C-alpha cells in the first residue's frame, strides 16, 4: 500500500501531538467507517514501516500494550522491552495498559506474562 509517499507520511505525523493524532484516527474512522489501528494492526507484523506508524498514532497505553504483546509473542520473547514497560510505568499507567491489552487482544496481561516468562524474571514481572 504505497499510495502515500512514506517520507511525506513521516513528515506529516512526526510533529503532531497526541490530540492531533487522535483527531486523525477519528477522521479516518468517520471517512472510512473503519478503525485505523485495526487496519494497521493486520499489516504491522510484516511491515516495519507500518509498525512504526501504528506505534506513533496509538495512544500511550495502546502503544505499550502492543510493545508488551510483541515482546511476549514475537518470534522470540524480548525481556528487555517487557521489563522496560512493566518496570518504568506507574501503577495507574500499568492498569491502563492492562485494560488496553485486554480490549485489543482479548487476553489477560498478567496471565500471558505468567505463561511466557520463567524463573526469577517471572517473579519480578
pLDDT digits (tens), the chain, 125 positions: 455 688 888 888 889 999 999 999 999 999 999 999 888 988 888 888 899 999 999 999 999 999 999 999 988 889 999 999 999 999 999 999 999 999 999 999 999 999 988 887 877 77
Residues comprising the chain, all counted: 125
Cell 497526541 belongs to 18
Nearest to 58 by CA among 113, 107, 101, 95: 101
In whole angstroms, what is the distance from residue 42 CA to residue 106 CA? 15
> What does the block give as the cell for 7?
517520507
| 69 touches 34 (CB < 8 A) | no
Amino acid at each position: 500500500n504505497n499510495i502515500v509517499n512514506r517520507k511525506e507520511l513521516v513528515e506529516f505525523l512526526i510533529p503532531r501531538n497526541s490530540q492531533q493524532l487522535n483527531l486523525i484516527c477519528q477522521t479516518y474512522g468517520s471517512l472510512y467507517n473503519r478503525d485505523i489501528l485495526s487496519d494497521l494492526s493486520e499489516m504491522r507484523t510484516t511491515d516495519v514501516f507500518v509498525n512504526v506508524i501504528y506505534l506513533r498514532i496509538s495512544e500511550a497505553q495502546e502503544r505499550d500494550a502492543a510493545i508488551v504483546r510483541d515482546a511476549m509473542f514475537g518470534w522470540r520473547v524480548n525481556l528487555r522491552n517487557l521489563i522496560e514497560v512493566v518496570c518504568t510505568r506507574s501503577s495507574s499507567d500499568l492498569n491502563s495498559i492492562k485494560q488496553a491489552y485486554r480490549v485489543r487482544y482479548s487476553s489477560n496481561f498478567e496471565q500471558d506474562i505468567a505463561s511466557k516468562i520463567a524463573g526469577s524474571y517471572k517473579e519480578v514481572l
